[in-house]
Structure 1
Amino acid sequence: MSAVALPEEAAARRARVWFWWLGALAVLVFAVAWLWVAMAYGEEFSEEGKARAAGTTMAGTGFAIGLVPVLILHAVSIVFAMLLAREGWGRPLPGRFVVAVFAVGAASLPGFVLWMLLSPGGTMFVPEPYVP
């Protein structure tokens, strides 16, 4: 084997390096994204009393402006990871999908756990009990 890498091997190596670097960066991106979800639900819960007094509701705001963008971010990340897995490892479609789902899940889980731990009551999806 020669010391000079073939162009296909060099491209595959670059794709694998990008896969892991972007995976590490995704941990921070998903942590911020889960913070966004927690803030959206917090806003919904804290403003619900004022909204009801005004004859409206804040129901669904946390889902619409918090959770939906994070779910879209997950879907886009899975597609992008599948492309890098194809270039880096040459896996068939089911293998690329499995690698991409595990990579995105592993990047998202620390942020999700962190914000669940920091949320009042242990969950960001349930409002704090009102104490007058």
Structure 2
Amino acid sequence: MSAATVSSVPIPSRGWRNDMVAALFWLLTVVGVLMMTGAWFLLALASLEEGTEQPKALAAGTTMAGTTLWLGIVPLVFAHIAGFALCLVATTGRFDRARGVLWAGEAVIGASLIGLAVVLVLSGGQLLYTPPDYVP
């Protein structure tokens, strides 16, 4: 009797190799929604800070230009890259690596869209601050 005839249990070719890895992936996805909401919120706050503090900065002989970039956009991009990297690590427990990469991308995009929607609801639909027109 050979080993091939004894093992009649089929080896799965898709799905998760381990339930703990699947739980880790979904845990990271849920935490990612909170992190992406915070990252989108930082963008809104940085934009508000730059727009409202610019007149004071000009009066002091300086500028607030670049605040939205450094305090809003850079953390947002970092959150997306870090989220994708963490989800990639979690999807190494899948049998199909290519599908795992797709799952990681979908998890980050989904978390980001949910975070963006939450921030838009909380900010009244205005993500970036636009100062009112000055009328003397």
Q: For the superposition of Structure 1 and Structure 2, which TM-score range results when normalised by the shorter chain? A: 0.7 to 0.9
In the alignment, the residues of structure 2 paired with residue 39 and residue 55 of structure 1 have an alpha-carbon distance, to the nearest angstrom, of: 23
Q: Distance in 2 between matches of 1:66 and 1:131?
A: 25
TM-score between both structures, scaled by the size of structure 1? 0.78
2:96 aligned residue (91, 94, 98): 91
Structure 1, unaligned stretches of length 5 or more?
2-8
Q: After the TM superposition, which segments of 4 or more aligned residues of structure 1 sit over 4 Å from their partners?
A: none
Residue matched to 2:110? 106
Does the Cα contact within 8 Å between 2:37 and 2:116 map onto a contact in 1? Answer: yes
TM-score by length of structure 2 reads 0.76
Residue 81 of structure 1 and its aligned partner are, at CA, apart by: 0.4
How many angstroms does 1:11 deviate by? 6.1
1:119 alignment partner in structure 2: 123
Q: How far apart, in 1, do the equivalents of 2:92 and 2:29 lie?
A: 15
Q: Equivalent residues in 2 for 1:42-121 (5 A)? A: 42-87=48-93, 89-92=94-97, 94-119=98-123
- Checking the alignment, whether the CA contact within 8 Å between 2:44 and 2:129 is kept in structure 1 is no
- Provide the C-alpha distance between the structure 2 equivalents of 1:27 and 1:126, rounded to a whole number of angstroms: 23
Return the alpha-carbon distance in structure 1 between the equivalents of residues 33 and 129 of structure 2. Answer: 25
Q: Which has the larger radius of gyration?
A: 2
Whole-angstrom distance in 2 between the partners of 1:52 and 1:123? 25
Higher-helix-fraction structure: 1
Distance in structure 2 (CA, Å) of the matches to 1:71 and 1:51: 27
Q: Which amino acid aligns with 1:100?
A: A
Q: What is the RMSD of the two structures over their aligned residues, measured on CA atoms?
A: 2.4
Structure-2 separation of matches of 1:74 and 1:96: 17
Cα 1:111/1:10, change in 2 over 3 Å: closer
Quick check: 1:14 aligned with 2:20? yes
Alignment identity in percent? 31
Whether the 8 Å CA contact 2:52–2:131 is kept in 1: the answer is no
Distance 1:10 1:103, change over 3 A: closer
Instruction: State the alpha-carbon separation in 1 of the partners of residues 127 and 96 from structure 2.
Output: 37
| Residue 51 to residue 14, structure 1, CA distance change in 2 (3 Å) | same
Distance 2:39 2:119 in 1: 10
